[in-house]
């Protein structure tokens, strides 16, 4: 066979094998027996061995065989992978639907006449992933991570047979990112555990645990052996192409292009049909080949989804309807009191170990003393403990019929269990706090963990256990002491050698280059999260301005009310906190200047923009920030509500849709002139 004829035959074999994979995994059909499929694959392997120059990354033979990684690299999601809110009862579902209707401006009379269309599907108990296709070819796989950043698992997802390396047919966008849930079937899970026990290895606790562990193997050959599967549940970010205007039709498009969608997906009308679907799936739950923990409802219309919008980490137009939580009976052995980063003292139940929801539980949350009083809980009681999915286990009921003759009443200690400082009840009368602040070792330890966390100063390698070691040896009296640590001190710690000590000190040094929002967030001010820290930085521009701001000025910052403003002023008026900040700045922590946004002119007030295509004079993120700083809003898709489309090169389907809807279109120069930003 000549090289030319071999090239032609390799292309034919790849096409045939992809076709059979599509029929088998997507259509549940078989055209040829397994033996014929094996012969095609063997012929392809033989030709590629003879002509290695013909091997491509999309070849069916290249799913497995990459060199093991030393670590996973980070991936920035083009569009955040959000989590879902939960409902647990039919009334919760009705309330969710009413909130959606309210966001759409529907009146009570309209609700009674018109119900919304939803798409329902089983909520798989697996691992969420993102798949990125360019020109129909799989180029990246990523974990959800924190929603904004995940880990690059491309080598591993390529080993999964139910994920196509090349999309089928045509009509897909040039760039298409899809989201899906990876899982291990019940039968596969049982086989994996049986094999583990046969080889005296520790079995996995549940299929989700097995899927997560299999996906994050640095050696993709191990992942390949675990027979992971996927169901795609949404289209994410896309460019240079068109997708349907409804969620259901988009799923049908994805299925048509060779992506596996759940056969249980159903389009329904209104809350009653949502509830009926939930009950139907609940009856089928045990017979399904995979584990599920509920049902997901999504508003079908993409335009209505845009109108309903999002909260910080979840869409308002979707929710998960969880199945009843799994519960077991056990005994409350003791109650211990933990001190958190802000001084809040929380009771924690110590239980007789019990197996619930796939794991053995020995601790459970009790929330606060009011909850203990409500439950009428005593040490020695028989209690029902509940665990739903990944939710922290909690004590939900005391079985008073089983109460022993002698029990112990639970009381809040007068002194902090860590530093013995006075314990005070907060202004709402719910939370008890140690009033020692960072002088309390527990608060100090938690504040250091928070300061070093990913969304704060992001000190790589400074995990919780290392912080606890350092605090136990009194090497850290405050977060500022991190920057005084020497490699020779770290070498003395358990688990450290010279190389790891040098690596950690280098990471601490690197963390000195940060941003003002991250620094503010890292300080751990009560109720000042990541978003509030950004708002403060953008409003005031400098740390000095924030520290010296009065209550009234702080309350003028978006999303900051009197309570949060009071927490901020109290924090910066504390002399110890000021000393810690001075120590951090003296250690060399710096950040780039922030230009304070001026929105008094409000040139974009109330206007909705969509940004698409490649911009030359700024990044799209810069354009979005400028729009928001001038009072405008940025949407991810074009609709009748869109006022302007900022279109760069290769604007694609969004430009076509904007033209069809009569939306005003700006090129980059027109936008700059309108915003007067240069």
Task: Grade residue 493 by pLDDT with cuts at 50, 70 and 90.
Answer: confident
Q: What is the DSSP code string of 150-176?
A: EEB-HHHHTT-TTS-SB--SS---SEE
Record the tokens describing residue 239, joined without a space.
Answer: 């460019």
Record the tokens describing residue 253, joined without a space.
Answer: 């498009």
141, 255: one domain: yes
Task: Grade residue 124 by pLDDT with cuts at 50, 70 and 90.
Answer: very high
Per-residue confidence (pLDDT) for residue 364, from 0 to 100 = 92
Residues 308-312: what's their mean pLDDT? 79
143, 236: one domain: yes
Task: Grade residue 181 by pLDDT with cuts at 50, 70 and 90.
Answer: very high
The CATH number for 480's domain is 1.10.150.20
Residue 19 has pLDDT above 70, yes or no: yes
Residue 225 lies in a domain: yes
Residue 600 has pLDDT above 50, yes or no: no
User: Higher confidence at residue 124 or residue 42?
Assistant: 124
Residue 552 lies in a domain: yes
Would you give the end-to-end CA distance of the chain in angstroms? 63
Q: How far apart are the C-alpha atoms of 594 and 414, rounded to whole Å?
A: 45
Residue 63 has pLDDT above 70, yes or no: no
Residue 64 has pLDDT above 60, yes or no: no
Does residue 147 come out as left (phi exceeding 0), alpha (psi in the -120 to 50 range) or beta?
A: left
Q: Of 510, 535, 570, which residue is a domain's last?
A: 510
Per-residue confidence (pLDDT) for residue 276, from 0 to 100 = 96
Residue 10 has pLDDT above 70, yes or no: yes
Q: How far apart are the C-alpha atoms of 157 and 164, rounded to whole Å?
A: 10
Q: Of 510, 540, 568, which residue is a domain's last?
A: 510
22, 52: one domain: yes
Q: Active-site residue among 123, 298, 449, 518?
A: 123
Per-residue confidence (pLDDT) for residue 324, from 0 to 100 = 75
Per-residue confidence (pLDDT) for residue 636, from 0 to 100 = 67
Residue 70 lies in a domain: no
Contacts of 527 (CB under 8 A, 6+ apart): 563, 564, 567
382, 404: one domain: yes
Catalytic residue flag (residue 641): no
Percent of the chain with pLDDT over 90: 37
The CATH number for 129's domain is 3.30.470.30
Report the helix count and the strand count for the chain, using DSSP H and E.
25, 24
User: Higher confidence at residue 530 or residue 68?
Assistant: 530
Residue 95 lies in a domain: no
Per-residue confidence (pLDDT) for residue 343, from 0 to 100 = 85
Reported as half-sphere exposure (CB side, CA atoms, 13 A), residue 533 has a value of 18
Residue 399 lies in a domain: yes
186, 277: one domain: yes
Least confident of 283-297, 451-465, 561-575: 561-575
Helix (H, G, I), strand (E, B) or coil at 14: helix
Q: How far apart are the C-alpha atoms of 256 and 241, rounded to whole Å?
A: 15
Per-residue confidence (pLDDT) for residue 438, from 0 to 100 = 65
160, 131 contact by CB (below 8 A): no
Task: Grade residue 134 by pLDDT with cuts at 50, 70 and 90.
Answer: very high
Residue 593 lies in a domain: no
557, 463: one domain: no
- Print burial letters for 511-537: b (CB count within 10 Å at least 16), e (below 16): beebbbbbbbbbbbbbebeeebbbbbb
Closest alpha carbon to 179 in 217, 214, 129: 129
Residue 113 has pLDDT above 70, yes or no: no
Per-residue confidence (pLDDT) for residue 377, from 0 to 100 = 95
Task: Grade residue 65 by pLDDT with cuts at 50, 70 and 90.
Answer: very low
Q: Residue 613: which domain range?
A: 608-675
Least confident of 208-217, 222-231, 464-473, 657-666: 208-217
173, 281: one domain: yes
User: Helical H runs in 473-529?
Assistant: 487-491, 498-510, 516-522
User: Higher confidence at residue 392 or residue 366?
Assistant: 366
451, 476: one domain: yes
User: Helical H runs in 62-165?
Assistant: 90-103, 108-113, 154-157
Residue tagged 């966001």 (tokens): 103
Write out the H or E segment, with its range, that includes residue 271: helix 270-284
Record the tokens describing residue 247, joined without a space.
Answer: 């969620």
Residue 597 has pLDDT above 60, yes or no: no
Q: Of 586, 620, 635, which residue is a domain's last?
A: 586
How many domains are there within the chain?
6
Q: What are phi and psi of 365, to 5 degrees?
A: -75, 145
Residues 469-480: what's their mean pLDDT? 87
Residue 162 lies in a domain: yes
Residues 314-331: what's their mean pLDDT? 86
| Summary mean pLDDT of the chain | 86
User: Higher confidence at residue 552 or residue 348?
Assistant: 348
Q: How far apart are the C-alpha atoms of 401 and 382, rounded to whole Å?
A: 9
Record the tokens describing residue 484, joined without a space.
Answer: 């005084």
Residue 271 lies in a domain: yes
Q: How far apart are the C-alpha atoms of 115 and 83, rounded to whole Å?
A: 25
Per-residue confidence (pLDDT) for residue 602, from 0 to 100 = 64
Distance of CA 281 to the CA centre of its chain: 26
236, 150: one domain: yes
Helix (H, G, I), strand (E, B) or coil at 250: helix
Closest alpha carbon to 150 in 72, 51, 228, 206: 72
Residue 322 has pLDDT above 60, yes or no: yes
Beta strands in 207-340 (DSSP E): 229-239, 266-269, 292-299, 318-322, 326-339
139, 279: one domain: yes
211, 274: one domain: yes
Per-residue confidence (pLDDT) for residue 388, from 0 to 100 = 62
Q: How far apart are the C-alpha atoms of 200 and 213, rounded to whole Å?
A: 18
| Cα–Cα distances in angstroms (integers) from residue 526 to residues 518, 521, 563, 572, 580, in the given order | 15, 10, 10, 12, 16
Task: Grade residue 49 by pLDDT with cuts at 50, 70 and 90.
Answer: confident
335, 388: one domain: yes
Q: What sign has the CA pseudo-torsion 224, 228, 229, 234?
A: negative
Per-residue confidence (pLDDT) for residue 434, from 0 to 100 = 87
Least confident of 58-72, 112-126, 148-162, 563-577: 58-72
Q: How far apart are the C-alpha atoms of 349 and 337, rounded to whole Å?
A: 9
Residues 99-123: what's their mean pLDDT? 79
Residues 399-425: what's their mean pLDDT? 89
Record the tokens describing residue 369, joined without a space.
Answer: 């003393």
Residues 153-160: what's their mean pLDDT? 89
Q: How far apart are the C-alpha atoms of 344 and 567, rounded to whole Å?
A: 14
The angle subtended at Cα 188 by Cα 21 and Cα 209, nearest 5°, is: 110
Residue 368 has pLDDT above 80, yes or no: yes
Condensed to tens digits (0 to 9), the pLDDT of residues 196-255 reads 878 877 777 678 878 888 887 777 788 888 889 999 999 999 999 999 999 999 999 999
Least confident of 79-93, 596-610, 633-647: 596-610
653, 173 contact by CB (below 8 A): yes
Per-residue confidence (pLDDT) for residue 379, from 0 to 100 = 96
User: Higher confidence at residue 389 or residue 183?
Assistant: 183
- Rg of the chain over CA atoms, in angstroms? 28
Least confident of 211-225, 351-365, 375-389, 508-522: 211-225
């Amino acid at each position: 066979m000549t090289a030319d004829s071999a090239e032609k035959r390799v292309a034919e074999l790849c096409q045939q094998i992809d076709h059979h994979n599509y029929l088998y995994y997507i259509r549940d059909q078989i055209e040829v027996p397994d033996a014929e499929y094996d012969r095609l694959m063997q012929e392809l392997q033989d030709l590629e061995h003879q002509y290695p120059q013909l091997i491509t990354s999309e070849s069916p033979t290249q799913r497995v065989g990459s060199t093991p990684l030393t670590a996973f690299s980070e991936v920035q999601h083009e569009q955040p992978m959000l989590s879902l809110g939960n409902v647990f009862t039919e009334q919760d579902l009705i309330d969710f639907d009413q909130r959606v209707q309210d966001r759409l401006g529907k009146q009570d009379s309209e609700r009674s006449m018109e119900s919304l269309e939803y798409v329902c599907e089983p909520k798989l108990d697996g691992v969420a992933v993102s798949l990125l296709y360019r020109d129909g070819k799989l180029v990246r796989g990523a974990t959800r991570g924190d929603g904004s950043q995940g880990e690059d698992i491309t080598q591993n997802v390529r080993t999964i047979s139910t994920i196509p390396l090349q999309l089928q047919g045509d009509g897909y966008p040039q760039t298409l990112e899809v989201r899906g849930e990876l899982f291990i079937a019940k039968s596969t899970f049982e086989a994996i555990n049986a094999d583990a026990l046969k080889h005296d290895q520790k079995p996995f606790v549940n299929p989700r645990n097995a899927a997560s562990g299999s996906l994050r193997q640095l050696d993709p050959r191990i992942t390949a052996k675990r027979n992971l599967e996927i169901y795609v549940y949404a289209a994410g970010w896309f460019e240079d192409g068109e997708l349907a205007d409804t969620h259901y039709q988009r799923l049908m498009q994805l299925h048509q292009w060779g992506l596996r969608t759940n056969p249980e997906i159903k389009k329904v009308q209104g809350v009653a049909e949502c509830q009926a679907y939930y009950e139907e799936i609940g009856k089928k739950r045990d017979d399904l080949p995979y584990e599920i923990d509920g049902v997901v409802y999504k508003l079908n219309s993409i335009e209505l989804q845009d109108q309903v919008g999002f909260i910080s980490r979840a869409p308002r137009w979707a929710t998960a309807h969880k199945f009843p939580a799994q519960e077991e009976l056990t005994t409350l052995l003791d109650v211990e009191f933990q001190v958190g980063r802000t001084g809040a003292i929380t009771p924690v139940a110590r239980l007789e170990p019990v197996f619930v929801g796939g794991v053995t539980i020995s601790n459970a949350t009790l929330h606060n003393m009011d909850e203990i009083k409500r439950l009428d809980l005593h040490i020695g009681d028989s209690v029902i403990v509940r665990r739903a999915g990944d939710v922290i286990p909690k004590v939900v009921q005391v079985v008073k019929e089983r109460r022993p003759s002698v029990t112990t009443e639970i009381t809040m200690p007068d002194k902090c269990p860590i530093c013995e400082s006075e314990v005070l009840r907060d202004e709402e009368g719910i939370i008890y706090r140690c009033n020692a602040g960072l002088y309390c070792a527990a608060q100090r330890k938690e504040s250091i963990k928070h300061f070093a966390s990913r969304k704060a100063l992001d000190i790589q390698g400074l995990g919780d256990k290392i912080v606890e070691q350092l605090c136990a040896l009194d090497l850290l009296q405050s977060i500022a002491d991190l920057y005084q640590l020497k490699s020779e001190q770290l070498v003395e710690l358990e688990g450290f050698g010279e190389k790891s000590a040098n690596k950690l000190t280098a990471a601490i040094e690197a963390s000195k280059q940060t941003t003002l929002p991250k620094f503010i967030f890292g300080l751990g001010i009560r109720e000042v999260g990541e978003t509030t820290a950004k708002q403060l930085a953008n409003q005031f521009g400098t740390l000095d301005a924030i520290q010296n701001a009065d209550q009234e000025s702080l309350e003028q910052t978006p999303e900051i009310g009197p309570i949060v403003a009071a927490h901020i002023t109290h924090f910066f008026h504390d002399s110890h906190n000021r000393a810690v900040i001075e120590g951090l700045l003296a250690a060399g922590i710096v950040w780039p200047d922030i230009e304070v946004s001026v929105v008094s002119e409000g040139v974009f007030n109330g206007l909705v923009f969509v940004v698409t295509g490649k911009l030359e004079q700024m990044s799209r993120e810069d354009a979005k920030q400028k729009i928001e700083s001038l009072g405008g809003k940025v949407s991810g898709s074009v609709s009748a509500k869109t006022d302007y489309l900022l279109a760069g090169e290769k604007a694609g389907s969004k430009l076509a849709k904007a033209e069809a809807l009569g939306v005003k279109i700006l090129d980059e120069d027109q936008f700059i002139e309108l915003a007067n930003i240069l």
